Amino acid sequence: MAKEALLKVVEAEKEADQMIKKAKEDAKEMAILADKRSKKILEELTIKARIECDRLKAQAQEEMKGELDSIALESDKRCRSIIDIPQDRFDEAKKILIERIVK
């Protein structure tokens, strides 16, 4: 009887060892799968972040372009207002200059 009990204990230990080995293998596989999934999720989020960044960058450039165009237009108007002297003012300045030269 003791011999049978001892054999059952040995058999139970073997089964326990196999179960532990199987559990370790399963845990290792699950860890590998989890790592792969996390890498895939990270890659997907990185791609989404880059797309959003590019979209925001394009939007900002478009807004800046509009502002720069507006500033350039205002600057052009100011330059023209300085350059475009009305003819009567030009004639008057010419007359004064001629008078000073003649004197």
What mean pLDDT value characterizes the chain? 87
Residues contacting 85, CB < 8 A, separation 6+: 93
Kindly give the residue spans of alpha helices, DSSP state H, lying in 1-103: 2-83, 87-102
Please give the residue that has the higher pLDDT: either 29 or 88.
29
CA distance 32 to 39: 11
pTM: 0.49
Count: domains in the chain:
1
Structure tokens at 82: 């300085």
Tell me: the pLDDT tens digits for 6-37?
Answer: 888 889 999 999 999 999 999 999 999 999 99
Mean pLDDT for the stretch of residues 51-65 = 91
Structure tokens at 23: 């559990």
List the domain range (segments joined by +) for residue 24: 2-102
Structure tokens at 16: 């326990």
